[in-house]
Amino acid sequence: MEIDNVTKRFADYVAVKEADFSIGSGEFFSMLGPSGCGKTTTLRMIAGFETPTEGAIRLEGKDVSRVPPHKRNVNTVFQHYALFPHMTVWDNVAYGPRSLKKDKAEVKRRVDELLEIVRLTDFAQRKPAQLSGGQQQRVALARALVNYPSALLLDEPLGALDLKLRQVMQFELKRIQREVGITFVYVTHDQEEALTMSDRIAVMNAGNVDQIGTPTEIYDRPSTVFVASFIGQANLWAGKQTGRAENGFVPVQVLGSTLKARAGDTTIEPGGHATLMIRPERVRVSMEPPTGDVAGVRATVTDLTFQGPVVRLSLAAPDDSAIIAHVGPEQNLPLLRPGDQVHVSWSPEASLVLPAADIPTTEDLEEMLDDS
Ligand SMILES: Nc1ncnc2c1ncn2[C@@H]1O[C@H](COP(=O)(O)OP(=O)(O)OP(=O)(O)O)[C@@H](O)[C@H]1O
Ligand SMILES: [Mg+2]
């Protein structure tokens, strides 16, 4: 599937800007981003419900930009899927192959196979109203897969389910996708969901695709401040890069010090503005000064929260910047109190220098997620 330099405008408004990527056969591909960033619009163009203003959509090598939805070999599952309430589960799933005029034996073979895959064989004779939300969602999936589309497009299909059921369904969806081997294009604003299920993720921000990569690549090597803050938690400090890259490392001025940091993919000239990123679980806290090839500063504990597996420590750097550290039992720290002086440090390898950008506040991030 190729999204070839696609732009979508609604009157003057640019909903998707120059999206340019391809999705491999059999891949679980997610589009992730906050509300209004253009995920659904992109999916609707792949499905055929919208036409690109510029660029082309190709499926299996053919330009389908102007081909209507029912003539494309893809199927869509929406958040509010509608099952036929008066039909049994079996008949709901049989609807597709029957409308393709498949013979009785073939219809039976396909429906039984799909009900097996979604583990609803024992529920075949029930009506949708007699099923839980997760079971209904699996009927919708079976129904969308029964005609063997080359790709299944899913727009927040778990959005209506509660958290526990959503987590169960994430594993189910991934298992089903592996079993049927069909390409899944999955839209979500939930980063955990995308990280759990996807082979690759496209992170979208205000109509732009900021980054495409595997969950690990995106988490370890985000390309922008937006991606770093949207996926997982990150310490992000604005500062300056003070020298050139040497063996992949650069000096950056942040937290009132000059620290050695891993260079990112964007080249920044010496003296240029830059943002240093470090994940909270990579920050070490110690009473003694750290030794070896580390970057770090002295800091004052400002707050502690016990979170089960880790203690979330808030600290203040010499320049008053906030530092967040997630400290596990292996760090053998004494009981800390606000006001205590400690050393924070990390391996320069664990840090990353990103192009300068506005750093979203916690409130900004909460707002982005609330909107969804
Ligand atoms: N038919 C339309 N006419 C005008 N503007 C539209 C239309 N469809 C979408 N938009 C605008 O395009 C932008 C992207 O919308 P889209 O539905 O793709 O967002 P999304 O990423 O799916 O968001 P959400 O997570 O809230 O579903 C939004 O600002 C939206 O208002
Ligand atoms: Mg949407």
What tens-digit pLDDT sequence spans the chain (372 residues)?
Answer: 999 999 999 999 999 999 999 999 999 999 999 999 999 999 999 999 999 999 999 999 999 999 999 899 999 987 777 899 999 999 999 999 999 999 999 999 999 999 998 889 999 999 999 998 888 988 998 999 998 899 999 999 888 777 887 888 888 889 889 988 999 999 999 999 999 999 999 999 999 999 999 999 999 999 999 999 999 899 999 999 999 999 999 999 999 999 999 999 888 989 999 999 999 999 999 999 999 999 999 999 999 998 888 999 999 999 999 999 999 988 888 889 999 999 999 999 999 999 988 877 777 777 766 654
Give 229-287 as a DSSP string: HHSS--EEEEEEE-S--BTTEEEEEETTEEEEEE--SS---TT-EEEEEE-GGG-EEES
In the block, tokens 């500062």 appear at: 239
Name the residue ranges covered by the structural domains of the chain: 2-220, 233-371
0.75 exceeded by pTM: yes
Distance CA 350, CA 183 (A): 33
Ligand 2 centroid to Cα of residue 35, in Å, is: 7
Report which protein residue has its CA nearest ligand 1's atom 11: 15
Residue nearest to atom 24 of ligand 1 (CA): 35
- Nearest bound ligand to CA 38? 1
Q: How far is CA 223 from CA 157, 186, 231, 282, 367, in A?
A: 28, 21, 11, 18, 22
Quickly name the fold that domain 233-371 has.
OB fold (Dihydrolipoamide Acetyltransferase, E2P) (2.40.50)
What distances in angstroms separate CA 170 from CA 139, 156, 164, 189, one per listed residue?
A: 15, 11, 10, 14
Other beta carbons less than 10 A from residue 272's beta carbon: 13
In sequence order, the β-bridge partners of residue 212 are 202
Per-residue pLDDT tens over the stretch 349-372:
999 999 988 877 777 777 766 654
Question: Do 52 and 7 form a contact (C-beta atoms < 8 A)?
Answer: yes
Structure tokens at 266: 């964007």
Residues with CB under 6 A from ligand 1: 10, 13, 15, 33, 35-41, 189, 372
Nearest CA to ligand 1 atom 30: 36
Ligand 2 centroid, distance to 318 Cα (angstroms): 43
Burial level of 344, CB count in 10 A (0-12/13-18/19+)? buried
CA–CA dist 160, 256 (Å, integer): 47
Ligand 2 centroid to residue 38 C-alpha, Å:
7
Q: Which atom of ligand 1 is nearest to the CA of 8?
A: 12
Ligand 1 pocket mutation, candidates 7, 32, 40, criterion most atoms within 8 A of CB: 40
- Domain 2-220: give its CATH superfamily: P-loop containing nucleotide triphosphate hydrolases (3.40.50.300)
Give the ligand at the shortest distance from the Cα of 33: 1
